[in-house]
Amino acid sequence: MSDLVVRLLQSSVCFGTVIMYGAIGEILTERAGNLNLGVPGIMYLGGISGLAASFFYESSTADPNGLVCLVISLLAAFLASALGGLLYSFLTITLRANQNVTGLTLTIFGGGIANFFGGSLTSLAGGVGQISVAATSAVYRTTIPGLSGLGIVGKLFFNYGFMVYLAIVLAIVMHWFLNRTRRGLDLRAVGEDPATADAAGINVARNKYLATCIGAGISGLGGLYYTMDYIKGTWANDGTIESLGWLAVALVIFATWRSINAIWGSYLFGFLFWVYLIIPGLARKDIELFKMLPYLVTIAVLVITSLRKKREDQPPASLGLAYFREER
Amino acid sequence: MEQTFAIQMKDITKRFGKVVANDHVSLDIKRGEILSLLGENGSGKTTLMNMLAGIYFPDEGQILVNGVPVTIASPKDAFDCGIGMVHQHFKLVDVFTAAENIILGLDSRQKLDLKAVAAKIEDICGRYGFVIDPYKKVYNMSVSEKQTVEIVKVLYRGADILILDEPTAVLTPQETDRLFAVMRNMKADGKAMVIITHKLHEVMDVSDRVAVLRKGQYIGDVATADTDPQKLTDMMVGHAVTLNIERPLVETRNLRLEVEDLTVLTPDGIKALDSVSFQAFGGEILGIAGISGSGQKELLEAIAGLQPTQPGSHVIYHPPAPDEPIAGQHVPVDRGGEELLGKTPRQIHDIGVSMAFVPEDRLGMGLVGTMGMADNMMLKTYRSGKGPLLDRKPPRQLAEKVKQELDVLTPSINTPVRRLSGGNVQKVLVGREIAQEPSVLMTAYAVRGLDINTSYTIYNLLTAEKLKGVAVIYAGEDLDVLLELCDRILVLCGGQVSGILDARTATKEEVGLLMTKFKKEGAQA
């Protein structure tokens, strides 16, 4: 296998991992009936918080400890993103604001905050290109010792940071939770038919809050992976996180709200996004066209699932709707 | 069998605003017995049972379960007392299986073991003679299967007091028999059961005891063996009340609407209307009586062009003669009679056939809640304007006129109608239809939820229309009103015309019997 193909597949996996986090979190949220279009903003929040936390830790000590770097950045990213989810929950669940508008606002909000502090961090670090959290990034990019050296197999399967594997584990755990536990069943009932869930004694608001906040926390890890591993512990004000966030939203639809499907779906998206690498003789504009492939595939999936009319592949029935017990 | 009180309700009163839904009702429910709760629409049957199920909370009174006073503030409290209610509208998640629906919300710390759940469901089914597939998805189920899931759901939670709210409304006769067989099995198992219904033959068939409610009041209870449909009807409708609605007789009554063999199917393919034939005359109010869901809505909608009809149905419209005061306002049609079926609702409306339907939620049909009176008036007239721009003046004038004449209480004609009280919303709706100067005016439940005075305003409006020579069709719930307001009453039962009576001579009992399909000789007028 040529180096180019190996490089393509590796890029696909790394790219896919970013959006897989976004999608897994959003699947949890949407299964509870909340359409959070703030995923890009939440990924921004996760990215900048993780980066800022490790930046201040690294600059405060001469000899940063790897484990502390890891814990601090992970916690900061998760909590900041969950806080974004909490804001969204309060507006849409308690105040019953329109979910689409709230989500889009959260995207703009998250992007604004992140780029503002990203810029501040850059100036603190001494100018463009200077910001670097080398120690933390190194932890994130540590590959599995031994296994990564196993030729092609090692390069393809074991040559990644731990978050690539964590994403897969999370997707599987999420699938198990939603389909094999009573709490998961209750949560899905809330997303399908909150009035029925309410009548069955399920606390609708609590389920929605928890799903949205934890879901946002998971989505935010995608932003963290992007800053720490994908662009190696730096910051770029180029809006990539936002476009990745929208791909994550598209991936939720592509995966038909099943986190298991998000695993291969995300890698497929990554492959389609980077496939231009192995096609010779492409001009700049052709590359941009190729990068649209994931969206085209999502549209195709939407058309196909709509035509097949299989009930299990449809979005949760009350997705996007606020629930109010005393209505009608 | 030893009978003990499962539930004692003492002096229960429930008010919704000014309306008293239950007025000091006392009711006992015994173990090992099927109790029928009988009453007309709006008599408070469902409200009373909803207080046992934790949907409503009583304003006054006391509930005892097994002799112990309890407070039932939520569905969960009701389950804890062993009370389970199967509502008319099923509460099931479509994409879940029967088993998943049944265990929804139960002890979330336990493992999700669908096999064990299925086994327990099979056990319950075997005991009482149900048949359900625990792994079948709800969206693949028939109505009867869904109902079974609801009942098993209640039993799975350990309920031994079951309340079924009009369970047979959606079932075929065979399915009804099967349900009754299951109910008898549960009775033999010592469970207490309440069935809410207004079908007398089912009462006679399945229950041991009948309790009758009328207009929120408890009339009494009798052992089913000691009574017959005639006696129950008398208890249900009560004695006629004199309302003193003015009812002038119009001498010249011209044929206006001829309905022949009108058949309409529900989306499920059941006949909502079955070969309905009748005539409506100008200068007459034709009342339509029937228990709810007997086809009143479908009948009016079919005439208004909103329901697809079956081949062979005819609705012939005879326009008023040129010398009649109401003539000449509308699109001219064939003087020998114009077929309305096949026309669009707008065409039918332009011909002069208007409908004011007041649904239960009042705003569902006819008015846009977020728009003001003026804009709602415009909904019917904006097409007649010239050019692409709206002429807001006429609708504003009309809105002002309706507001004054009908005494609509609204801060301004631009206040969204949803902020108006129910009675005022209805005045806007009926007022607008009358302003169209129709030659056929259909109203359904025009006084639903209105207080006495407002109701009289509406009655007077309808009578005024009648005097102008309009053919008024009035579908109503209150028999007393129908008997005093209308000239003739058409009674619908199960989508069929069970009789047409002269309202001046008919008695309440006659109408009541026709409504419940116990036809008497010579009832056909």
B282 and B417 share a domain?
no
Domain at A3-313: CATH code: 1.10.3470
Strands (E), chain A: none
Phi, then psi, of B304 in degrees rounded to 5 = -80, 0
Contact flag B104-A184 (C-beta cutoff 8 Å) = no
The residue whose two tokens read 């049957």 is: B45
Nearest by CB to residue B108, choosing from A186, A192, A314, is A186
Query: Which of A189, A195, A317 lies at the smallest CB-CB distance from B104?
Result: A189
Rg for chain A (alpha carbons), in Å?
20
The answer to whether residue B383 is domain-embedded is yes
Greatest mean pLDDT range, A15-29, B120-134, B456-470: A15-29
Nearest CA in chain A to B107: A182
One-letter amino acid identity for B325?
P
Domain boundaries, chain A: 3-313
- For residues B523 and B514, is the Cβ–Cβ distance under 8 A? yes
Among A27, A40, A70, CA closest to A220: A40
Is residue B111 situated within a structural domain? yes
Q: Which amino acid is at B61?
A: G
Return averaged pLDDT per consecutive 10 residues of chain A, 328 residues in all.
84 94 97 95 95 91 88 95 96 94 96 91 76 84 79 83 94 95 93 89 92 97 93 84 92 92 94 87 85 85 80 87 72
Q: Do B78 and B203 fall within a single domain?
A: yes
CA torsion angle for A110, A111, A117, A118 (degrees, to 10)? 140
Q: Which tens digits make up the pLDDT trace of B343-370?
A: 888 888 888 887 776 665 555 567 887 8
Do residues B183 and B274 share a domain?
A: no
In a domain? residue B498: yes
How much is the pLDDT for B358? 64
What region, left, alpha or beta, does residue B220 occupy, with left being phi > 0 and alpha being psi -120 to 50 degrees?
left
Check whether residue B155 and residue B167 sit in a common domain: yes
The amino acid present at A316, given as its one-letter code, is P
Q: Average pLDDT of chain B?
A: 83
pLDDT score, position A82: 97
* pLDDT-derived band at B401, boundaries 50, 70, 90: confident
Q: Count the domains in chain B.
A: 3
| B213 and B231 both lie in a single domain | yes
Which residues on B lie below 8 Å from A183 (Cβ)? Answer: 108
The residues pairing with B500 across neighbouring beta strands, listed in sequence order, are: B490
Q: Which one of A199, A314, A317 has the shortest CB-CB distance to B91?
A: A199
Coil, strand or helix at A188? helix
DSSP state of A306: H
Inform me whether the pLDDT recorded for B521 exceeds 50: no
Contact B111 A182 (CB under 8 A): yes
**Facing residue for B76 by CB, picked from A186, A192, A201:** A201
Whether residues B425 and B446 fall in one domain: no
> Distances from the Cα of A317 to the Cαs of A190, A216, A327, B69, B474, in angstroms?
10, 21, 17, 40, 38
**A166: contact with B, CB 8 A cutoff:** no
- Testing the interface with A: which of B104, B112, B136 to mutate, by most A Cβ within 10 A? B104
Q: Does A313 touch chain B (CB under 8 A)?
A: no
Asked if the model's pLDDT at residue B332 lies above 80, the reply is no
Sheet of B496-502, strands arranged across? B353-357, B440-444, B471-475, B284-289, B488-493, B496-502
pLDDT band for position B320 (cuts 50, 70, 90): confident
Token digits of residue B137: 């998805």
Task: Note whether B111 contacts A: Cβ–Cβ < 8 A.
Answer: yes
Domain end residue (candidates: B417, B435, B453)? B435
Chain B residues with CB under 8 Å of A184 CB are 112
CATH number of the domain at B149, please: 3.40.50.300
User: Exposure string (b/e) for A225-254, b if CB count within 10 Å is 16 or more?
Assistant: bbbbbbbebbbbeeeebbebbbbbbbbbbb
User: Residue B458 corresponds to which tokens in the numbers above?
Assistant: 């509406």
User: For an interface test with A, which of B86, B93, B113 has the most A Cβ atoms less than 10 Å from its Cβ?
Assistant: B93
Confidence of residue B101 (pLDDT cuts 50, 70, 90): very high
B161 and B308 housed in the same domain:
no
B395 has pLDDT over 80: yes
Highest mean pLDDT among A9-18, B245-254, B381-390, B408-417: A9-18
Same domain, B263 and B157: no
Q: What is the token pair recorded at B372?
A: 């003001």
User: What Å distances lie between residue B111 and A150, A201, A202, A207, B156, CA to CA?
Assistant: 41, 18, 17, 18, 17
Between chains, do B112 and A182 touch, taking CB under 8 Å as contact?
Answer: yes
Percentage of the residues of chain B whose pLDDT score is greater than 70: 91
> How many other C-beta atoms are found inside a 10 Å radius of the C-beta of residue B391?
14
Size of interface A-B (CB pairs under 8 A): 66
Encode pLDDT of B16-65 as tens digits. 777 788 899 999 999 989 999 988 766 888 889 989 988 888 999 999 99
Q: In DSSP terms, which residues pair with B209 in a beta bridge?
A: B35, B223
B141 within a domain of the structure (yes/no): yes
Q: Which run of H or of E encompasses A25?
A: helix A3-31
Confidence tier at B449 by pLDDT (50, 70, 90): low
Q: Is B422 part of the contact surface with chain A (CB cutoff 8 Å)?
A: no
8 Å CB contact between A174 and A28? yes
Both tokens of B404, joined, read 């004054």
Residues B184 and B46 in one domain: yes
Distance between B104 CA and the closest CA of chain A, angstroms: 6
Asked if B105 lies within 8 A of A311 by C-beta distance, the reply is no
Relative to beta strand B284-289, strand B488-493 is parallel
- B330 with B399, same domain: the answer is no
Residues of B in contact with A317 (CB under 8 A): 94-95
Report CA A127 to chain centroid distance, whole Å. Answer: 29
- Residue B186 located in a structural domain: yes
Q: Which two tokens stand for residue B199?
A: 């079908």
Highest mean pLDDT among A8-12, B450-454, B464-468: A8-12
Query: C-alpha angle A248/A253/A256, rounded to 5°?
Result: 125
Note whether A206 contacts B: Cβ–Cβ < 8 A: no
**If DSSP codes are grouped into helix, strand and coil, which group holds residue B9?**
strand
Which two three-digit tokens encode residue A280? 């010779």
Residues B426 and B495 in one domain: no
The whole-model pTM stands at 0.76
Residue A184 touches partner B, C-beta closer than 8 Å: yes
Question: Are both B458 and B492 inside the same structural domain?
Answer: yes
In a domain, B17, yes or no: yes
ipTM of the complex as predicted: 0.85
Q: Which range of residues forms the domain containing residue B312?
A: 241-352+439-525
The DSSP line for A145-187 is TTGGGSHHHHHHHS-S-HHHHHHHHHHHHHHHHHHHBHHHHHH
Report the alpha-carbon distance of residue A141 to residue A127 in Å, rounded: 24
**Residue that is last in its domain, among B188, B219, B237:** B237
Contact A287, A276 (CB under 8 A): yes
Contact A196 B100 (CB under 8 A): no
Instruction: Give B-chain residues touching A200 at CB under 8 angstroms.
Output: 75, 91, 104-106
